[in-house]
Structure 1
Amino acid sequence: MTNTSVQVVDWRAAAQIAGRVANPGPVGTRDELESLVAGLREAAARAVPEVLDVTGMRPAPESLATSDTLSQVSVVDRPGWALANTQVMDLMTRPLAEGLSASERSQLAAPLPSLLGAAQVGAVLAALSSRVLGQFDPYAAGPDALGRLLLVAPNVLAAERSLRVRRRDFRLWVCLHEQTHALQFAAAPWLPAHLSERTGRLLTDMAARSRDLTAGRWSERAGAVGRGLVNAVHGTDGPFVAGFLTPDQRRVFDDVTAVMSLLEGHADVAMDAVGPKVVPTVRQIRRRFEQRRDGAGRGAFDGLLRRFLGMESKLAQYRDGAAFVRAVEKSVGRDGFNAVWTSPDTLPTASEIAEPAAWVARVHG
């Protein structure tokens, strides 16, 4: 899976551990599960023209996506989701692995430290695997293929049951969000490399600082770096990540967080903007889903876990990003907002997410 002889974390082992530890989720009859998979694939296809219409965006000419197909669609279980994410992390940590010294490589190659790092990352992935309905992955498919849209079937089924929503509507609503992500990366083909470079540089700097400030073995810190990558990929800000950051690194981290807020907020706005003509129960779904996001009915342990994983920060990204999108569109219209996808220079900064008028002034004058 990797061209380097040593990995920062044994990603394959991490995926296996996550798959074994994760609760498999709700069960259903064979007919119900087959209908769920077919329904999710149908919803993913139905979402494409609606997303194109509501955003006013189109894939860039150099993108492999088209107005008919924005992504490869994979319906997965929780272990499948964990495996897909370790593949992304493997790609994103290759430069870091290649920069390790011979001594550090030998430490990572030792069986016990390697398993320890994988166990730490696997535990985080196992916890997250029950909370993700869908995810667009622009990295794992490679340069000669479309990005991959992952729909986590047991989580969609669990959400439908707990929220008591119309299934066909809910599946389309979820896919509207994820296909918006696919369109974002198709409209801005430079975006995956931009995010990868920023995240990779941050991880490399974090690892170097960790070597400088502690006398601990590199192998004992690999799990923390891996967990940091899990949070970076998913736009969360776990407390152990914040503890690593210098002021310069914090600025890079804030830049990445601002982009994640933009992506998530824009997708949230799009999935609701289609309106009841497309998703008849969209308002009911949004109301009940927001209660779910806010933790209604969850126990104290679940709240503690959410804070540990940085999920509270993730929820703020959706809301802050959506507020930014709505404010910009109110000021300069949908086409004016879509200037955000022009280049890295037109992406909002962290301060501009909080003050949309500043972005409008900088980009539109």
Structure 2
Amino acid sequence: MNLFRSVRTVTNASGDGHVDWPAVAEAAKASTDAGRLDLTDAERAGYAADVRDARDRLRSLGGVAFDLPNTVEIQNRHHWIDANVDTFRRVMAPVEREAPNAIFPGITRVVNTGTLSFMLAFLGRNVLGQYDPLLLAEAAPGDRDHALYFVHPNISAVAETLDVEEARFRRWIAFHEVSHAAEFGAAPWLSDHLETRLERGVDALATGELDRKAFAELDTAMTAVEGYAELLMDRAFDDDYADLRAKLDARRQGGGPVARLARRLLGLGLKRRQYERGAAFFRTVADERGLEGASAVWERPENLPTDAELDHPERWLARV
């Protein structure tokens, strides 16, 4: 980790755009220790077994047909940053195209580059696993090879911090991320649904407007995505998880003042609300109709719960 190199890279940001993307990646990695990735044969086999077992159990319990992505990677923090720079760049592209020329373009570029490198560095040090549907990629949604990532140094570090067995914690994370693969595999329309609303919202921001409806629909859909994954993970996991849940929830709320501020700025509090609100909805539905009944949400876009139905699952049960 080299903070001086990171700062120097940001202050030397160049190019014609509002963001120097190569500098974003370089600065984020310079301020972040890559972490250990010299896995033993047993650790590699453990990851493979966890993913395979999660797939088989989720297929059986959830009543959903899906395949794992072709890309399943065990990464260090730098690998994760490289993979997600492209995502940030795709999301920011409309804003960059439409944003007016700054009075001091060099200063604006440095500020934007520094902000995005900080965001990626913070996330790179904290993300445990990720299911990446590659939203806004050039290929059509049905032609994309989605990806599944596990950030091994973070999993090891958090397991040690929480004082839990690493293999058990890793397996729990695998069940959560494979649950997302189950959702997107069961609902081929889901990527396009999310992407359409994301595009509308970002395009509006690029012209200085706020499309509240687009972002509200995106939030509602993502609440369903996160909530269903929480339900599937908890019902399918083959061990007691109460201690893991309590310790991870405490971690999501903890950290120093800088970490808490970063979480607020990055909207991670909103993500936690999505977990909790969505999980409460699906627990009620599953208790009434079983996991297969809850999985009906992915049959077609019209089956997604509305914002009001998320807080009143009985209305969704009556409608679907």
TM-score (norm. length: structure 1): 0.73
Q: Residue type matched to 1:319 in 2?
A: E
> What is residue 181 of structure 2 aligned with on the other side?
182
| 1:149, distance to aligned residue in structure 2 (A) | 0.4
Question: 1:326 maps to what in 2?
Answer: 283
2:220 to 248, 251, 258: 258
Match of 1:313 in 2: 270
* Counterpart-to-counterpart distance in 2, 1:134 and 1:200: 25
What residue number does 1:62 align with? none
Query: Aligned letter for 1:135?
Result: Q
Which position in structure 2 is the counterpart of 1:45? 52
Deviations 1:109-144 (A, max 9, x none): x65543432221111111122221111111178554
- Residue-by-residue CA offset, 1:78-120 (whole Å, 9 max, x unaligned): 222122122123334445556x38xx4x769x65543432221
Shift of 1:281: 4.5
Q: Paired residue for 2:249?
A: 290
The 5 A counterparts of 1:49-68 are 49-59=56-66, 66=67
Within the alignment, does 1:354 sit opposite 2:311 as a pair? Answer: yes
Cα displacement string for residues 339-359 of structure 1 (whole angstroms, at most 9, x for unaligned residues): 211222221222222222222
Give ranges in structure 1 of 5+ residues lacking alignment.
Answer: 60-65, 211-244
Deviation at 1:262, TM superposition (A): 1.1
Match of 2:109 in 1: 114
Out of 2, 22, 26, which is 2:32 matched to? 22
Q: Distance in 1 between matches of 2:243 and 2:69?
A: 28
CA contact 1:266–1:321 (8 Å) conserved in 2: yes
Gaps of 5+ in 2: 1-14
* Candidates 323, 339, 342, aligned match of 2:299: 342
Cross-structure match for 1:81: 80
SS in 2 for 1:209: coil
Q: Partner residue of 2:119?
A: 124
**What secondary structure does 2:208 align onto?**
helix
SS in 1 for 2:188: coil
- 1:154-183, Cα deviation, whole Å (9 max, x unpaired): 110111111122222211110110011011
Q: Is the 1:37–1:153 Cα contact (8 Å) retained in structure 2?
A: no
The one-character-per-residue Cα deviations of 1:221-271 (angstroms, maximum 9, x if unpaired) are xxxxxxxxxxxxxxxxxxxxxxxx4xxx22321211111111111111111
Equivalent of residue 304 in structure 1, options 261, 266, 271 = 261
Aligned-residue identity in percent = 32
Secondary structure in 1 matching 2:294: helix
The corresponding residue for 2:165 is 166
What amino acid does structure 2 have at the position aligned with 1:167?
Answer: E
Secondary structure of residue in 2 paired with 1:135 = strand
Check the 8 A contact 1:41/1:73 in 2, yes or no: no
TM-score, normalised with respect to structure 2 = 0.83
2:148 is paired with a residue whose SS is strand
Name the counterpart of 1:271. 233
Structure 1 distance, partners of 2:153, 2:22, is 22
Partners of 2:191 and 2:198 in 1: CA distance: 11
Q: Secondary structure at the match of 2:65?
A: coil
- CA gap 1:7/1:91 in 2 versus in 1, 3 angstroms: farther
CA RMSD of aligned residues (A): 2.9
- Secondary structure, in 3 states, of the residue corresponding to 2:126? coil
1:71 touches 1:179 (CA, 8 Å); kept in 2?
no
Comparing 320-329 and 49-58, the one that deviates more: 49-58
